[in-house]
């Protein structure tokens, strides 16, 4: 064989030996669904707005669509995004425990009365705690500790401090108590009854009120009612001073100045000004927050006119929100402004619980550098939420990403574990109504304000006579969180 033929056969053998197997073309993956695109938008807006955006990877649209395929629901995706934020030891988890989605497919908890935006709720507006009627009692009853303003229960005349003896004619609603603990099987059984009753179309209650009157109420369920956040306002009159009292349940919208909430608050502050009060008891014990703009309005009413133009608070936001032409104007520093019916307060005694949160804490925070603010509580702190949100609509879903933090004029912020209180260990005595000077927290505020009150009414003396007094043993249901909300400009 010639050398030429040998080399030719060798070349052809190598050629066929090295030839790749031809595989069929790869089928393209399924096109992203509408749900995938919604999830990708959730990722995008969370990354843009989150206070901790540095922890969230920047992905293009294709990357976002690929990332979100791993999550079966919008809430699972949001949980994963929140888990990317820094670890906080106080929560034993990610610091963002606040961001949430509203997937109600409605306008949310909003209504429009006379053309004005108002927050609403649904149901009866009733909130219960467990209470024993004396220290030697062996059973606990449901006790109404809060009736929301504007609710069906409030309109029917149901009041705080009412002991519930029957629900829909069922008197088997007590739970066992052994002197230190409630019977948990009873708690679950009766709790389920109360929960079911609060979801029914009508509710019948047999109660004994705080003033020892026996009453029966029949109440209709409402799918939507407009919240009246003013629980009670009054002036305590004493020989040496007048003291204002305002129980405020949530920071609902007050603007424009023709809004009914604005008009009502203006009348209240006019009465306080007319009484020349220097001390105010501000009852925020169940206030879980609301609108930043309402906290600003109330702060302007309470701070002396001499502090006009002084810093109220600053926002902390991420770089995108701070520089975006669409958003930056919403996060400028906020300064005090003169108001009509502005008070000349010296002291504010704020009644708080671990439910006191968000915009309620913001109001407390901004007043601290300018007034003597005394926090009075059962425990040693408030809830702890120095951050807030604004809404981003994504189809039928609303994303509330934790997007801003506030800092007061003294640099105070980061109260993630709650604000420390000044006076702790004072009972939230749910057997007395709001405004009653014999209720423990109010009595402690009056005592701290220097009012001379009978020894029997002093909170310090009540523990010695507790055998004849009711005792709160826990909460059954509580008002839902209102957060710290801001409208987009």
Chain segment 194-239, per-residue pLDDT in tens: 999 999 999 999 999 999 999 999 999 999 999 999 999 999 999 9
**pLDDT above 90 for 482:** no
Q: Angle formed by the axes of helices 260-274 and 292-302, to 10°? A: 20
In this structure, how many other beta carbons lie within 10 angstroms of the beta carbon of residue 365? Answer: 24
Question: In sequence order, what are the residues at sequence separation of 6 or more whose Cβ sits closer than 8 angstroms to the Cβ of residue 37?
Answer: 65
Regarding the domain delimited by 227-390+397-459+480-485, which CATH topology (the fold level of the hierarchy) does it fall under? 2-enoyl-CoA Hydratase; Chain A, domain 1 (3.90.226)
Angle between helices 359-367 and 292-302 (to 10 degrees): 30
pLDDT, residue 141, reads: 97
Percent helix, strand, coil in the chain (nearest 5)? 30, 30, 45
Average model confidence (pLDDT) for the chain? Answer: 90
The dihedral built from the CA positions of residue 245, 249, 254 and 260, taken in this order, carries a sign that is negative
Q: What local confidence, expressed as pLDDT, does residue 464 receive?
A: 42
Q: What residue segments make up the domains of the chain, in order of their start?
A: 123-224, 227-390+397-459+480-485
| Residue 468 pLDDT class (50, 70, 90 cuts) | low
Alpha carbon dihedral 5, 11, 17, 23, in 10-degree steps, equals: -120
Sign (positive or negative) of CA dihedral 343, 289, 378, 439: positive
Is residue 471's pLDDT more than 50? yes
Q: Under the phi-then-psi rule, with left for phi > 0, alpha for psi from -120 to 50, and beta for the rest, what region is 98?
A: alpha
Task: Give the confidence band of 463 by pLDDT, cuts at 50, 70, 90.
Answer: very low
Contact 136, 467 (CB under 8 A): yes
pLDDT value for 198: 96
289-291 and 483-485 as β-strands: parallel, antiparallel, unpaired?
parallel
Contacts of 360 (CB under 8 A, 6+ apart): 251, 284, 287, 288, 289, 295, 352, 382
Contact call for residues 77 and 213 (beta carbons, < 8 A) = no
Whether 139 has a pLDDT exceeding 80, the answer reads yes
Helix residue ranges, H only, 137-256: 152-156, 184-199
75, 365 Cβ separation under 8 angstroms: no
The tens digit of pLDDT for each residue in 406-455 reads 999 999 999 999 999 999 999 999 999 999 999 999 999 999 999 876 65
Superfamily of domain 123-224, CATH level 4: PDZ domain (2.30.42.10)
pLDDT in tens, 3-59: 555 545 544 454 444 444 555 665 666 889 999 999 999 999 999 999 999 999 999
Whether the per-residue pLDDT at 474 is higher than 80: the answer is: yes
Q: Residue 400: beta bridge partners?
A: 100, 391
What is the reported pLDDT for 28?
Answer: 64
Q: Are 355 and 445 in contact (CB under 8 A)?
A: no
- Percent of the chain, pLDDT > 90? 81
Give CA–CA dist 391/313, Å, rounded: 21
Position 15 scores a pLDDT of: 47
CB contact at 8 A, 98 and 401: no
What confidence tens digit (pLDDT) does each residue in 275-305 have? Answer: 999 999 999 999 999 999 999 999 999 999 8
Please give the pLDDT value at position 429. Answer: 97
- Residue 137, pLDDT > 90, answer yes
């Amino acid at each position: 064989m010639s050398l030429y033929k040998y080399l030719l056969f060798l070349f052809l053998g190598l050629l066929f030996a090295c030839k790749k197997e031809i595989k069929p073309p790869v089928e393209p993956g399924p096109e992203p669904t509408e749900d995938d695109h919604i999830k990708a938008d959730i990722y995008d807006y969370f990354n843009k707005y989150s206070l901790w955006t540095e922890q969230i990877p920047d992905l293009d649209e294709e990357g976002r669509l690929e990332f979100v395929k791993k999550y079966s629901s919008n809430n699972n995706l949001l949980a994963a995004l929140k888990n990317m934020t820094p670890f906080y030891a106080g929560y034993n988890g990610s610091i963002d425990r606040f961001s949430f989605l509203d997937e109600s497919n409605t306008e949310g908890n909003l209504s429009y009365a006379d053309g004005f935006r108002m927050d609403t709720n649904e149901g009866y507006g009733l909130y219960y705690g467990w209470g024993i009627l004396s220290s030697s009692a062996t059973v606990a009853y449901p006790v109404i500790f809060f009736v929301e303003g504007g609710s069906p229960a409030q309109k029917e005349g149901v009041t705080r401090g009412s002991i519930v003896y029957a629900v829909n004619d069922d008197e088997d609603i007590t739970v066992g108590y052994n002197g230190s603990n409630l019977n948990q099987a009873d708690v679950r059984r009766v709790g389920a009854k109360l929960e079911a009753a609060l979801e029914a179309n009508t509710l019948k209650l047999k109660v004994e009120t705080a003033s020892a009157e026996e009453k029966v109420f029949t109440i209709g369920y409402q799918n939507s009612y407009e919240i009246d956040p003013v629980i009670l306002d009054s002036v305590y009159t004493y020989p040496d001073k007048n003291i204002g009292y305002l129980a405020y349940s949530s920071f609902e919208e007050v603007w424009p100045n023709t809004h009914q909430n604005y008009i009502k608050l203006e009348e209240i502050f006019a009465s306080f000004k007319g009484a020349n009060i220097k001390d105010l008891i501000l009852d925020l014990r169940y206030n879980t927050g609301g609108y930043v703009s309402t906290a600003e309005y109330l702060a302007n009413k309470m701070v002396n006119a001499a502090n006009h133009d002084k810093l109220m608070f600053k926002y902390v936001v991420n770089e995108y929100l701070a520089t975006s032409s669409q958003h930056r104007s919403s996060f400028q520093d906020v300064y005090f402004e003169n108001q009509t019916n502005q008070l000349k307060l010296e002291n504010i005694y704020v009644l708080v619980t671990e439910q006191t949160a968000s915009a309620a804490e913001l109001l407390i925070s901004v007043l601290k550098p300018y007034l003597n603010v005394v926090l009075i509580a059962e425990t040693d702190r408030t809830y702890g939420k120095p951050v807030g949100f604004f809404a981003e609509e994504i189809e039928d879903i609303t994303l509330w990403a934790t997007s801003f933090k506030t800092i007061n004029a003294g640099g105070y912020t980061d109260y993630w574990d709650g604000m420390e209180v000044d006076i702790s260990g004072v009972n939230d005595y749910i057997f007395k109504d709001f405004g009653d000077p014999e209720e423990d927290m109010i009595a402690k505020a009056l005592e701290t304000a220097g009012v001379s009150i009978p020894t029997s009414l002093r909170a310090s003396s009540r523990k010695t006579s507790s055998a004849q007094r009711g005792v709160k043993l826990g909460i059954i249901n509580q008002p839902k969180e209102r957060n710290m909300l801001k409208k987009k400009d």
